[in-house]
Chains A and B, each alone.
Chain A
Amino acid sequence: MSIFCLFVLITITLLIGVYLYRVLRGPTVFDRVLGLNGISTKAIILLVVMGTFYDRVDMFVDISTGYALLNLVGSLAIAKYLEERREVF
């Protein structure tokens, strides 16, 4: 199971690269926000898998809960700000 957790960790890290490409090259700013949302979802999964790898799930799960809530606040703030401004760039 430890080796499999390592495999999952490496695969998800490679998938984050795809989202990072979308954040860097996205034609509009909304693509970048969506890409950041995807990256933070991957980070939450990554933290739980890392907890299983180190046998300390009880600690890592709390960190990932906090990360999920921070992701909600940040993404909603950016989305509301862009909605009020009403211009595409």
Chain B
Amino acid sequence: MSLNELSEVARLFMTPIAIGLMLVGLFFLFVAAVGVLRLPDVFTRSHAVSLTDSLGTLFLLGGLALYQGFSTNLVKILIVLVLLYLLNPVIAHATVRAALRSGLKPWTREDA
């Protein structure tokens, strides 16, 4: 069996796993969208935007990287994933700190 056929077999084997991972990622992205729509204020919504969104991105881009097989494309997708994981918390933290310092009161149970 040549190397090319081996890579074909690997791709056939990896495609269902990739599709499953991407479906899990889509589920997390959907949960994040529901959170953005339903949660009461900035501080709670930032959880939906930063945490759940990052988890969904991890699963979706991980599935896509698995589907690429062993190539430079896999490394590039992983670089984008690492970049997102570095940048997303920084942006969420900066926004929420700006909100807190400009005097926005966090939501409590009494406000409901």
Contact = CB atoms under 8 A, between A and B. Distances in A.
Partners in one complex: yes
Interface of A: 1, 4, 8, 11-12, 15, 18-19, 21-22, 28, 30-31, 33-35, 37-38, 41-42, 44-45, 48-49, 52, 57-58, 61-62, 64-65, 68-69, 71-72, 75-76, 79-80, 82-83, 85-88
Given A30-B104, A34-B42, A57 B99 contact: no
- 8 closest cross-chain pairs (CB), A and B: A83-B98, A79-B94, A30-B99, A18-B33, A61-B76, A75-B91, A82-B98, A57-B73
Contact of A1 (B29, B67, B92, B94): B67
A65 B83 contact: yes
B95 to A, nearest CB: 5
Contact of B36 (A22, A28, A58, A87): A22
Interface residues of B, number: 46
B80 A61 contact: yes
B109 interface: no
Interface string B61-85: 1001001100011001101100110
Residue of A4, A33, A44, A68 most packed against chain B (CB within 10 A): A33
Contact of A52 (B42, B64, B87, B102): B64
